[in-house]
Every structure is written in C-alpha cells, then in structure tokens.
A and B are shown apart, each in its own frame.
Chain A
Amino acid sequence: DTGVSQDPRHKITKRGQNVTFRCDPISEHNRLYWYRQTLGQGPEFLTYFQNEAQLEKSRLLSDRFSAERPKGSFSTLEIQRTEQGDSAMYLCASSLALWGPYEQYFGPGTRLTVT
C-alpha cells in the first residue's frame, strides 16, 4: 500500500502525559499537513510542511503542540501535557505541490483519547 500511513491508530493516555504520533506520507510528496477532527466536525488545519520546512501553523496549534519533519519524509506531532480537550482524531495528509496539483491525500488518522 503506497498511501499515507499513520501510527498509532489509537492512543489512550492520561491527562498530563505526552504523546507522539507519526505520519508517513506518499513517497515523493513534498507537502505534509496535519489536521485535527473532533466528532461530528470537519477536519481543522493545524500545520503544514514543505519538505522539512514548517511553513504555516494554525492558531489552534498551542505551545503544547510541536511538529517536525526532520528529513522531509515522515513527520511527527507531539502533544505535551495532554488535556481532555485534546481528544480528537489527528489526520495527516500529503500532496505533491509543484506547479499545479492541489490534491491532498489523507491517512487513516490517529484517534487520541485523553482520560
């Protein structure tokens, strides 16, 4: 399967703990996006990378959130000192942003539950 993959698929953690999620984009896709989706809502943009550079961050991305894409391939999203409000599906998407294509392809998501 050459689609976007995310790990883990599910994570249950206690309030105050740190968690880290991984996203592997489609091979050769240079853009990688993180979104958050709460139940019954559409995905909300968090941040995106072009290669290893983080180009934009949403106001939703508080100081407790940090994302990296160290070699321009996979990315990690870390949440420090988790809160119950962080419970959501965290989605990763990738695209090949050259002169034209806009399409973003999503992974299956990581479901985070903070107890």
Chain B
Amino acid sequence: QQQVKQSPQSLIVQKGGISIINCAYENTAFDYFPWYQQFPGKGPALLIAIRPDVSEKKEGRFTISFNKSAKQFSLHIMDSQPGDSATYFCAASRGYGQNFVFGPGTRLSVLP
C-alpha cells in the first residue's frame, strides 16, 4: 500500500513533442505528490508538485494532472527539449514533513 507505480520505464520523444509519464498509488492517506527531475550523477531536483484538492497544476511547460478517484497522477511536458532528457520520479507523502515514497523512475530521451 506504500508503493507508487510509475510508467513507462523509458520514453523517447521528438523535440517539440509532448512527454507523458503516469503514476498510480494505493494509500489514500497520501496528500502531496511531487515530481522530481534527476540528471546523471546529480541529486533529484523538485520540478512541480500538487495537492489532492486540485485536478491540475501548470508551471511553464510542465503540467500535473491529478485524478483522486482513480488514485492516479501524471506529468505532461509540453514542447519537450533535448535539455529535458533526464530521469523523472513521481513521489507521494502522507502529511507535511513526512518522508516521500518514490516511483521507480522514467528515463526520458528527447531527440533533437
């Protein structure tokens, strides 16, 4: 019940295309859902996050869609760029200050 599932494992997108990564969870106590971007040899960097009281959040080219009833959320990267090539992790936590449960990650490659 603590797991966060993530798909696809890897994704190849052409420059300018839309990248979509999906996550699902079971624990209804989760109330904060961040996405992190990680480049090789670096720590994860917070990209965007959402709470369950909204269905969508947009920041620049990045959008989170959240479906509370389905217990699913997704990251959409519009106008994908080669610089977006990285591994993306979804995560969830229950209550403020609590530890995150991470998905296994999606390796995104954006072709020039």
Contact = CB atoms under 8 A, between A and B. Distances in A.
A2 to B, nearest CB: 15
B46 A41 contact: no
A103 to B, nearest CB: 6
Contacts of A40: 104-105
Nearest to A58: B99
B108 to A, nearest CB: 14
B61 interface: no
Contacts of A93: 43
Interface in B57-110: 89, 91, 93, 96-97, 99-105
Interface residues of A, number: 30
Contact-residue size bin, chain B (C-beta under 8 Å from the other chain): 20 to 34
Contacts of A99: 96
Given A4-B43, A33-B99, A103 B89 contact: no
A52 B35 CA distance: 28
A109 to B, nearest CB: 5
A105 to B, nearest CB: 7
A44 interface: yes
A65 interface: no
Interface in B23-65: 32, 34, 36, 41-46, 49
A35 B91 CA distance: 13
Contacts of A105: 46
A62 to B, nearest CB: 17
Interface in A3-61: 4, 31, 33, 35, 40-45, 48, 50, 56, 58
A93 B97 CA distance: 11
A43 B46 CA distance: 13
Nearest to A97: B97
A79 to B, nearest CB: 19
Interface of B: 6, 32, 34, 36, 41-46, 49, 89, 91, 93, 96-97, 99-105
7 contacts: A42-B89, A91-B44, A101-B96, A103-B46, A109-B42, A109-B43, A111-B41
